[in-house]
Amino acid sequence: MSNRINAKAAASSDTSIRLEINSVDANDDVLKDLNVFPSTDWKERLQLIKVLLPYIEFDNISSTGTEPRVISCTVLSPLLFQLQLNLHIDSEDAIVETKVTGLLAVKLMAPQYASVLKTNYISRNKVQNLLYSLNSFAACIHRRTNAFVKVIRKYPGLVTNVNRDSLANNYTTYAHLKSCDEIILLLPANSIKLCIFWSVVLEDEITGECTNTINLIGPDPKSNELFQMLLESNSMVNAVSSLLSTCYNYVY
């Protein structure tokens, strides 16, 4: 009788232990689902970033060493730049050092912006801001290049500083225009010269957001004011067309 009681007690205890273990496992699963802290899987982080940053890509992601661990990857924006990013991670999964090579391509497009990247983000290990800013920068450069291409193709006889033949394909187009921050139009009838300056600048140093600054210089001091008004509701090429016809009686 005593043996049967002991056996039942042991079985009950074993069942209780299994229930506790299952409960712990279930709680672990819930905690994983509810965890709001950043993932410690850096490869997973970089994969998720791809969805949020459409203008940059990540390639050759690797992890080496133990302490510090080094996460390496190539950060690139097709036709614009290709950077090598190395993150040194300590035992608590914190970034202790950030190294970036290949910034010359960015510097050629925007020298001041490249300097801010080093000072504000790279040296301070602000990787999220760095990547967000690079994505914003690439978006601005693409917008500027596409706008310039449309103006050059519509007015090939007026644009003096860019040859239309250089726009044969995407590679030659971006090779010539990604670092070009101005286009110059010369009206042949009266030799009037108009210069459109388009700068990509850092708008918010905290987030890394970039923006476009566009200005026009011409013989009429009020031409830039009119140009800004036209840009508010028109594309670049349509704004140029309206300006030429309104102020200079030039119709293409």
Burial bucket for residue 57 (CB in 10 Å: 0-12, 13-18, 19+): middle
pLDDT digits (tens, 9 = 90+) for 72-88: 999 999 999 999 999 99
pLDDT digits (tens, 9 = 90+) for 114-147: 999 999 999 999 999 999 999 999 999 999 999 9
Which two structure tokens, joined as six digits, stand for 240?
């140029």
CA 218 to CA 221: how far, in whole Å? 7
Higher-confidence position of 243 and 23: 243
Contact yes or no for 15/8 (Cβ under 8 A): no
pLDDT value at residue 41: 67
pLDDT digits (tens, 9 = 90+) for 152-187: 999 999 999 998 888 888 899 999 999 999 999 999
Q: Which domains does the chain have, with CATH numbers?
A: 42-134 (3.10.450), 138-248 (no CATH)
Contact yes or no for 43/63 (Cβ under 8 A): yes
- Listed range (141-145, 221-225, 236-240) with the worst mean pLDDT: 221-225
Q: What is the value of pTM for the model shown?
A: 0.80
Which two structure tokens, joined as six digits, stand for 180?
């070009």
